[in-house]
């Protein structure tokens, strides 16, 4: 059979241009609109960086206040949407709940058919603002806790933690969660962002693009990895760690939270998240043993990869994020939804950008199936 050259997994294929983020895989750098993520995580908050990605420039004081006010105004859910969450099967994964409820948001949005820039921004803000309310309400209902409604006096990050726990977070919890959200907002042409762009390119609406992107993010090779990392670290006992890693490598199985298509050095987000995990456990006085184990696990894995000549596989964003979220009291199946609550900002920004000079994505598959034109014969009963 004839063979054909193709870029498996679209590796290295440039599908469009972007002004949103740049991933420098050789040097381990990530930029949003030209700013390093270290700079943004140190000096900005979720609201400011969201505005940056949606407008490709930082807001002035008044613009930021207005943007913040719009987000706060849109946090609440209508009684119809709340009723939909009440009816959601409680054994469902929160990512599936998000997909279902973002679809419901679209069905309740009177502006769904309005394609103006202004309406698009209002819809984007609605999605970003309501997603935390949806998942936290779902968690309260499934756990039998009272539902905590949004608090307009709190930032986006603090409000999400508040709705989750019913307790106003401390300054350090808010600061660290806010930084974690900033680090996840955008990341070049990753699988979920590409999905959002493909769906957008068909001129489907913004909600549909976000629902599709949520599906792509949920997979364990993408955003679903953070949940798998924590499950792995919790399963492996300290005295069995080396044997576990050795076996994985010997059997050529993936170690979750390691490796990246673009980064061939440490993922810069993993470096920051590692520091945040240490800072959080020090300030809160608990969880240090878990972060310490994650560090030992990572160091031994790196050593083993080096021994077999794999010197370009390092911890990625999903390796240490779970340690941060667990320390903040979030359940394991909330790690990927938290990723989504942040990455949605990138998706909506890419939705706008894709539409500026849109052309439908329509690549090809090389056909290597059955003989062409073979004669129809019904199989014997
Ligand atoms: N553990 C062990 N080996 C790994 C690995 C991991 N986490 N990630 C990559 N590799 C190895 C592969 O086995 C392969 O080795 P080979 O050349 O000997 O066959 C090589 O590195 C290339 O891996 P490949 O899966 O082809 O890379 P990719 O660019 O297609 O995939 C990921 C990138 C992220 C999907 C992949 O690294 C992975 O599955 N990581 C684990 C899941 C994860 O953490 N995802 C979150 C990403 S942010």
pLDDT at 284 over 90: no
pLDDT at 286 over 90: no
Instruction: Express each pLDDT in 123-133 by its tens digit.
Output: 999 999 999 99
**pLDDT for the residue 19:** 98
Mean pLDDT of the chain, nearest integer: 96
**pLDDT for the residue 85:** 97
222 is catalytic: yes
Q: Closest Cα to atom 42, ligand 1: which residue?
A: 221
**pLDDT for the residue 3:** 78
Summarize the confidence of residues 182-194 as an average pLDDT. 98
pLDDT at 170 over 70: yes
Instruction: Express each pLDDT in 325-353 by its tens digit.
Output: 999 999 999 999 999 999 999 999 999 99
Summarize the confidence of residues 32-54 as an average pLDDT. 98
Tokens of 223: 């955003």
Q: Closest Cα to atom 36, ligand 1: which residue?
A: 259
> Model confidence at 2, in pLDDT bands (50, 70, 90)?
low
Q: Is 30 helix (H, G, I), strand (E, B) or coil?
A: strand
Give φ, ψ of 36 to 5 degrees.
-70, 150
Instruction: Express each pLDDT in 214-227 by its tens digit.
Output: 999 999 999 999 99
**pLDDT for the residue 381:** 73
pLDDT at 301 over 90: yes
| CA–CA gap between residue 340 and residue 321 (Å, rounded) | 13
Query: How far is the centre of ligand 1, averaged over its atoms, from the C-alpha of 28 (Å)?
Result: 17
pLDDT at 193 over 90: yes
Catalytic residue among 109, 267, 318, 351: 318
Nearest in space to 124 (alpha carbons), one of 200, 34, 18, 35: 200
Q: Are strands 29-32 and 21-24 parallel, antiparallel or unpaired?
A: antiparallel
**pLDDT for the residue 177:** 97
Kindly state the percentage of the chain with pLDDT values over 90. Answer: 96
Query: How far is the centre of ligand 1, averaged over its atoms, from the C-alpha of 27 (Å)?
Result: 19
Catalytic residue among 184, 187, 260, 350: 260
Instruction: Express each pLDDT in 225-236 by its tens digit.
Output: 999 999 999 999
The ligand 1 atom nearest the CA atom of 310: 21
| CA–CA gap between residue 126 and residue 39 (Å, rounded) | 27
Q: Which residue has the tokens 């439908």?
A: 360
Positive or negative, the CA dihedral 146, 150, 156, 159 is: negative
Query: How far is the centre of ligand 1, averaged over its atoms, from the C-alpha of 301 (Å)?
Result: 13
Q: Closest Cα to atom 30, ligand 1: which residue?
A: 261
In this structure, are residues 340 and 95 in contact, taking their beta carbons and an 8 Å threshold? yes
Nearest in space to 149 (alpha carbons), one of 48, 67, 81: 81
Kindly state the percentage of the chain with pLDDT values over 70. Answer: 99
pLDDT at 59 over 70: yes
- pTM score, whole prediction: 0.96
Q: Any residues with CB less than 8 A from the CB of 152 and at least 6 apart, and which?
A: 72, 75
| CA–CA gap between residue 162 and residue 174 (Å, rounded) | 10
Q: Closest Cα to atom 12, ligand 1: which residue?
A: 254
Summarize the confidence of residues 263-290 as an average pLDDT. 94
Task: Indicate the top mutation candidate among 184, 217, 259, 307 to test ligand 1's pocket, ranked by most ligand atoms within 8 A of CB.
Answer: 259
The ligand 1 atom nearest the CA atom of 249: 2
**pLDDT for the residue 1:** 58
93 is catalytic: no
Q: Which residue has the tokens 């498996």?
A: 8
Instruction: Express each pLDDT in 111-153 by its tens digit.
Output: 999 989 899 999 999 999 999 999 999 999 999 999 999 999 9
Instruction: Express each pLDDT in 94-109 by its tens digit.
Output: 999 999 999 999 999 9
In this structure, are residues 335 and 227 in contact, taking their beta carbons and an 8 Å threshold? yes
350 is catalytic: no
Q: Any residues with CB less than 8 A from the CB of 12 and at least 6 apart, and which?
A: none
Q: Is 22 helix (H, G, I), strand (E, B) or coil?
A: strand
Q: Any residues with CB less than 8 A from the CB of 218 and at least 6 apart, and which?
A: 93, 95, 96, 224, 336
Please give the radius of gyration of the chain, using alpha carbons only, rounded to the nearest integer: 22
């Amino acid at each position: 059979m004839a063979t054909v050259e193709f870029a498996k997994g679209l590796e290295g294929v440039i599908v469009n241009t972007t002004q949103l983020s740049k991933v420098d895989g050789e040097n381990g750098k990530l930029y949003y609109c030209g700013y390093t993520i270290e700079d943004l995580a140190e000096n900005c908050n979720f609201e400011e960086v969201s505005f940056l990605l949606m407008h490709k420039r930082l807001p002035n004081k008044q613009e930021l206040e207005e943007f913040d006010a719009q987000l706060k105004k849109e946090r609440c859910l209508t009684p119809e949407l709340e009723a939909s969450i009440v009816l959601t099967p409680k054994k469902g994964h929160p990512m599936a709940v998000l997909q279902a409820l973002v679809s419901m948001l679209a069905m309740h949005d009177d502006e769904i058919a309005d394609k103006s820039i202004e309406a698009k921004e209002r819809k984007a803000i609605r999605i970003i603002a309501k997603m935390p309310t949806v998942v936290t309400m779902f968690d309260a209902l499934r756990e039998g806790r009272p539902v905590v409604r949004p608090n307009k006096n709190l930032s986006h990050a603090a409000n999400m933690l508040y709705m989750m726990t019913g307790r106003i977070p401390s300054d350090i919890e808010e600061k660290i969660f806010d930084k974690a959200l900033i680090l996840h907002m955008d990341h070049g042409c990753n699988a979920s962002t590409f999905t959002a762009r493909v769906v957008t390119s068909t001129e489907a609406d913004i909600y549909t693009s976000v629902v599709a992107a949520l599906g792509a993010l949920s997979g364990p090779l993408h955003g679903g990895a953070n949940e798998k990392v924590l499950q792995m670290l919790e399963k492996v006992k300290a005295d069995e760690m080396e044997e576990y890693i050795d076996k994985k490598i010997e059997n050529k199985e993936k170690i979750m939270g390691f490796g990246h298509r673009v980064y061939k050095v440490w993922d810069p987000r993993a470096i920051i998240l590692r520091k945040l995990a240490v800072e959080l456990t020090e300030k809160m006085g608990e969880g240090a043993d878990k972060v310490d184990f994650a560090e030992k696990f990572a160091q031994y894995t790196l050593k083993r990869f080096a021994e077999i000549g794999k010197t370009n596989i390092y911890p990625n964003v999903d390796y240490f994020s779970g340690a941060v979220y667990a320390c903040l009291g979030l359940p394991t199946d909330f790690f990927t939804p938290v990723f989504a609550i942040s990455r949605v900002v990138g998706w909506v920004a890419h939705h706008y950008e894709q539409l500026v000079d849109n052309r439908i994505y329509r690549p090809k598959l090389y056909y290597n199936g059955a003989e062409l034109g073979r004669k129809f014969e019904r199989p014997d009963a």
